Amino acid sequence: MKARTVSASGLQLSSRTAVSSSICWQCLRNDLFSNQVQLQSRKYHPSRRRNVSPFGAAVSAAQTIFKGLPSAPPGVSVDPLRIVGKELKFLTKNIRQLLGSGHPTLDKVAKYYTRSEGKHMRPLLVLLMSQATALAPRRKHTDCKTSASIDESITSHSVLADTNPDTNPLAARSAEAKYDFEGDENILPSQRRLAEITELIHTASLLHDDVIDNAVTRRSSSSANLQFGNKMAVLAGDFLLGRASVALARLRDPEVTELLATVIANLVEGEFMQLKNTSQDESNPVFTDDTISYYLQKTYLKTASLISKSCRASALLGDGAPEVVEAAYSYGRNLGLAFQLVDDMLDYTVSGTELGKPAGADLELGLATAPLLFAWKTNPELGPLVGRKFNQEGDIQRAREIVHRSDGVEKTRALAQEYADRAVAAISQFPDSEAKAGLIEMCDKTMKRRK
């Protein structure tokens, strides 16, 4: 190909796009953005370099030079699963490889929830965010470091003493050996691995939650705690978190490691908050302005933290500029909150058959979620029921009746829609692409889902 010069608002950018295979395309792509108008003076992180001005004319310049992401036709919805279907096809296989154990029983329990497909919402969002931010502004890039393989250990194997029979260290010396398919060029191997890590953390939380909740089913099968017992289910969840932590460390990005490690702590903190319905955990509580705030904080920790921080980590691994990283985080945070609000609403509006789990399960567990909390504001008689966690005969039925005759469900839906709209607004400045349209579609699907 010939050298090409692009003018964008007076900015001259030159690119020799087919010189030799030794060209660092990341450097070249970043140079397009580092030459925009002026660098921002504010610092992003002590270890990060200054960044360019946000979302300027160089975005369109870069899109003309590089094979970017196709834009969705105006007014036509896209299928997010189709956009990253190739990557998702290999997700479960790669996760099972990460989970291999030399102990046959642990191997079986650890992989138990990977037998049936879950929603894979979290890895789907990571992959879409990776694509959507591929042509967004980057941090200024002045050097080109050769990255180690995402499967390459940092410490000697003899010291780690961690044998995984499903992984051949010699065959996994490079990211290409691990991902033996032609994936999307806008998704880095580290971002694919991040998608797998998010699913590992999520699945570990399911194993632990099912023990806490005494669940009997999960993904249309017997729950792991029912199948193998509480002790093995808890240990398998711990093993998943261990494997996720190792994979996370091998990404060799301290900030991404910090983000995802914090998620694990957030999940525990959120679970402790959920053990109480209010901050005071009184026997006869009264609705206050802090009641909804407490619920939303718990919801962020238990649900939105993993989504928001994995979206942020995806942008970081793609070398996104500070405003791109913040936008990715804001999108994930707001979508995560909307997702859980809808989930809480469905517990009151959808039958158990359609929902895939017993309707009213939250009340059975003693949980006061958004629809009931909004109803409580105008129905103080719910206070004693909340205080005793609906454990007396007739409490659950009475609570449901009060919620249904109040505006609790409608207020929950309105708040969820507000968060979904915020998520869409957060990525409004991303370059147009199918992936961006897919992220927007995920907000719409969240609001319309029935299970």
3-state secondary structure of 380: coil
Q: Looking at per-residue confidence, does 3 or 344 come out higher?
A: 344
How many H helices and E strands in the chain? 23, 4
Q: Does 129 score more than 80 pLDDT?
A: yes
| Residue 72: predicted pLDDT | 52
Strand 11-15, strand 4-8: pairing: antiparallel
Query: pLDDT by residue (tens digit) across 337-351?
Result: 999 999 999 999 986
| Residue 411: predicted pLDDT | 97
| Residue 64: predicted pLDDT | 37
Q: Does 54 score more than 80 pLDDT?
A: no
Distances from the Cα of 20 to the Cα of 17, 23, 24, 30, angstroms:
9, 6, 10, 18
Q: Does 51 score more than 60 pLDDT?
A: no
Q: How confident is the model at residue 163 (pLDDT cuts 50, 70, 90)?
A: confident
- The Cβ of residue 173 has, within 10 Å, a number of other Cβ atoms equal to 14
Query: pLDDT by residue (tens digit) across 203-236?
Result: 999 999 999 999 998 877 899 999 999 999 999 9
| Residue 379: predicted pLDDT | 97
Query: pLDDT by residue (tens digit) across 335-392?
Result: 999 999 999 999 999 865 565 556 678 999 999 999 999 999 999 999 999 999 999 9
Instruction: Please state, in angstroms and rounded to a whole number, the distance separating the CA atoms of residues 242 and 246.
Output: 6
Q: Does 28 score more than 50 pLDDT?
A: no
Q: HEC profile for 197-250?
A: HHHHHHHHHHHHHHHHCCCCEECCEECHHHHHCHHHHHHHHHHHHHHHHHHHHC
Query: pLDDT by residue (tens digit) across 406-435?
Result: 999 999 999 999 999 999 999 999 999 999
* Domains of the chain with CATH codes: 1-66 (no CATH), 77-448 (1.10.600.10)
Residues in the chain: 451
Mean pLDDT on 306-313: 98
Query: pLDDT by residue (tens digit) across 240-290?
Result: 999 999 999 999 999 999 999 999 999 999 999 998 888 877 788 999 989
| Residue 43: predicted pLDDT | 33
3-state secondary structure of 414: helix
**397: CB partners within 8 A, 6+ apart:** none
CA atoms 232, 196, 362, 268: torsion sign: positive
